[in-house]
Amino acid sequence: MSDTLLNHRIRLASRPHGEPTAENFQHDAVAVAAPGDGQVLLRTRYLSLDPYVRGRMSDAPSYAAPMEVGDVIVGATVSEVVESEAEGYSPGDVVLSYGGWQEYSVEPATRLRRLDPDAAPVTTALGVLGMPGFTAYAGLRAIGKPQPGETLVVAAATGPVGSAVGQIARIQGARAVGIAGGERKTAHLHELGFDEALDHRAPDLPGRLAAAAPDGIDVYFENVGGPVFAAVLPLLNTFARVPVCGLAATYNATGLPEGPDRSAALMGAVLAKSLTLRGFIQTEFAPAMFEDFLREMTGWIASGQVRWTEDITDGLEHAPDAFVGMLRGENFGKAIIHVS
């Protein structure tokens, strides 16, 4: 079977300088490989687009090794078993994999997580019940620790991390202030139950944020950086916690912003307000917390306490444009490519 199929894929053609362009992506097709012992051949159904992938396209030092030029672009996938040489997997099984930007992939069975299509829509394994949802859960549980009556702020709040952050914080009794781009998104934040929703494209974000957080900010869940963080910093309360899981606003930056140098002022605020800034990648907390997350989040979804939104684009060939759009904040909800 695998001899007769072509695998269309998208590879890193060159490293982007600033925002990725079409020439950074190379589309090609190769023969589908056959699974070896203990492996399965997977057909990609859904591909997750995530901001961290922009970092892996660069060769600047980061928490994950960069892709090499020529590599298939990385990404989590919901895939279907086509052919199995692994015990326990049969054709038709649906799994969470890390197949990347291609139609087919061969994976060892040890790297798969089986999905139950009857328990929840399988695409949730890429969003609210997957890495983004767990990022929200773990960052709050391990670092942010919102307390009843405290105020939490999160940006990119209609995105898969931000929307989970705000909704979990509210379940835990905190006030949730969401920041997003445009009226359609802020309206959606109100539907999700956020206490306040601010449009970062409207004028005077600092003033509106101060009004939305009259008792100051106790938790700022940092996933964007840039002007939002600048508006948040003066409002942070003593002992505020800042889990840092992403800096999407800076991922396409090609150099340091112009001065003055605010890093000393940032450290001054850390000292003066006994702040906690803590960067994290969700994998750090998965061994201790992932099972709890699946149990709790599945319950919150079932009860309607946590809702999610998906932004699904049809066709692998549109992945580059959808990816760049996501980095610009043009997606509305979890960005997913429907591959097949």
Interface residues with a copy of itself (CB under 8 A) are: 61-63, 222, 225-226, 229, 238, 244-247, 250, 253, 255-281, 284
Q: How far is the CB of 139 from a copy of itself (least distance, A)?
A: 11
In this structure, the dihedral spanned by the alpha carbons of residues 9, 15, 19 and 24, taken in order and rounded to 10 degrees, is -40
Q: How far apart are alpha carbons 232 and 100 in whole angstroms?
A: 35
Nearer to a copy of itself, 77 or 282 (CB): 282
CB closer to a copy of itself out of 90 and 238:
238
Q: Considering the complex, state which of residue 4 and residue 256 has its C-beta at the smaller distance from a copy of itself.
A: 256
Distance, in Å, from the CA atom of 62 to the CA atom of 54, rounded to the nearest integer, reads: 11
Alpha carbon distance 129, 115 (integer Å): 11
Place of tokens 């939490």: 152
Rounded to the nearest 5 degrees, what angle is found at the Cα of 278, between the Cα atoms of 77 and 260? 110
- Give the Cα separation of 181 and 280 in Å (integer): 25
User: Cβ 284 to a copy of itself, closest distance in Å?
Assistant: 6
Cα–Cα distances in Å, from 28 out to 2, 70, 88, 316, 320? Answer: 17, 11, 32, 12, 14
**Dihedral of alpha carbons 237, 239, 245, 246, sign:** positive
* Shortest distance, position 60 Cβ to a copy of itself, whole Å: 8
CB-based contact 88:60 (threshold 8 Å):
no
Residue 206 or 226 with smaller CB distance to a copy of itself: 226
Residues 159 and 181 sit within 8 Å (Cβ to Cβ): no
Please give the DSSP secondary-structure letter assigned to residue 335.
Answer: E
Q: Could you give the CA distance from residue 338 to residue 126 in angstroms, rounded to a whole number?
A: 12
Smallest distance from the beta carbon of 322 to a copy of itself, in angstroms?
24
- The set of long-range contacts for 181-185, using a CB threshold of 8 Å and a minimum separation of 24, is 181/329, 184/332, 185/157, 185/158, 185/332
In angstroms, what is the minimal distance from the CB of 78 to a copy of itself? 27
Name which of 256 and 304 has its Cβ closer to a copy of itself: 256
* Shortest separation between residue 237's beta carbon and a copy of itself, angstroms: 12
Least distance between a copy of itself and beta carbon 182 (Å): 24
Beta carbon nearer to a copy of itself, 192 or 249: 249
**Least distance (Å) between residue 273 CB and a copy of itself:** 7
Query: CB-wise, 250 or 298, nearer to a copy of itself?
Result: 250
Q: For a copy of itself, which is the closer residue by CB, 184 or 262?
A: 262
d(CA 177, CA 196): 5
